Amino acid sequence: MEVFELKHPLVEHKLAILRDKKTGTKEFRELVSELATMLCYEAMRDAETHEVEIETPITKMKTKKIDENKYAFVPILRAGTGMLDGIISVMPNAKIGHVGMYRDEETFKPNVYFFKVPKDIDKREVLILDPMLATGGSGIDAIELLKEKGVKKIKFLCIIAAPEGIKAMQEKHPDVKIYTTSIDEKLNEKAYIVPGLGDAGDRIFGTK
C-alpha cells in the first residue's frame, strides 16, 4: 500500500489553525473543505485524460480533459460530508455515494447503518472521504462494501491519519492508496488521534 502525506507550507499553516481548539465551527468547516481540495488535487494526479478540440477566443486547439463520469466520491457519514464541498469544487460532475457509520464507544468498532452508491459504481474509480483515519475500522468496512459492489480502484482521503489506522488498512486492503495531510503520533486509550484535532464531526457541525 502506498501512503501519500501531503507536505506543503500552506497545508501546514491550515492544519495548525484546524488543530487549534480555539478555532470556531465556521472556520473549521472552511479549512476542512480547503484541505480536501488539496488532497483531491494530489489524488487525481494520475487521472486519465482524453483529447478534445475546443475554440479559444483566438483559435481552435486540441487539449485534454478528464472524464468525470469515471469517478465517484463516497464520504463516510457524518464527518466525511465536511470534505464534499472542497471535492465538488474540483470535480463537480462526479457522482456521490454515502456510507453511514457510527463508532461503538465501548469496542471502538464501526457499525454500518446506511449505504447508498450510484448503480454503476463498479465502473468508476472511487475516492472515500473521511477526515480522520484512527483505528481504520470505518475505512476498512467502507472499502469492503465498495469491493462487494465490484469497485476495482479505490483511494482513501483523510485530513489526519494515525499509524495504527494506516497499519490496519494496509493489512486488510493493501491495494488502496491513502492520501493524508498529516500522519500523527498515535491513538490514545479512547482511540482518538494524538495530537489530532478532537472529534472532526462535532467540530464540523458544532455539536459540542
Residue matched to cell numbers 447508498: 116
The position carrying cell 448503480 is: 119
Annotated catalytic residue, options 23, 37, 78, 199: 199
Residue 103 known to be catalytic:
yes
120 is known as an active-site residue: no
CA distance 178 to 57: 41
Beta strands in the chain (DSSP E): 3-5, 49-55, 60-66, 71-77, 95-96, 98-103, 110-116, 125-129, 132-133, 154-161, 177-183, 186-187, 193-194
Can 19 be counted among the known catalytic residues? no
- Among candidate residues 37, 78, 103, 122, the one labeled active-site is 103
The active-site residue out of 25, 107, 120, 207 is 107
Q: Alpha-carbon distance 42 to 165, whole Å?
A: 21
With a CB cutoff of 8 Å and minimum separation 6, the contacts of 175 are 1, 154
Hunting for cell 506543503 — which residue is that?
A: 8
CB 37 within 8 A of CB 86: yes
Q: How far apart are CA 179 and CA 129, in angstroms?
A: 10
Active site residue 107: yes
Give the residue numbers marked as catalytic. Answer: 103, 107, 199, 202
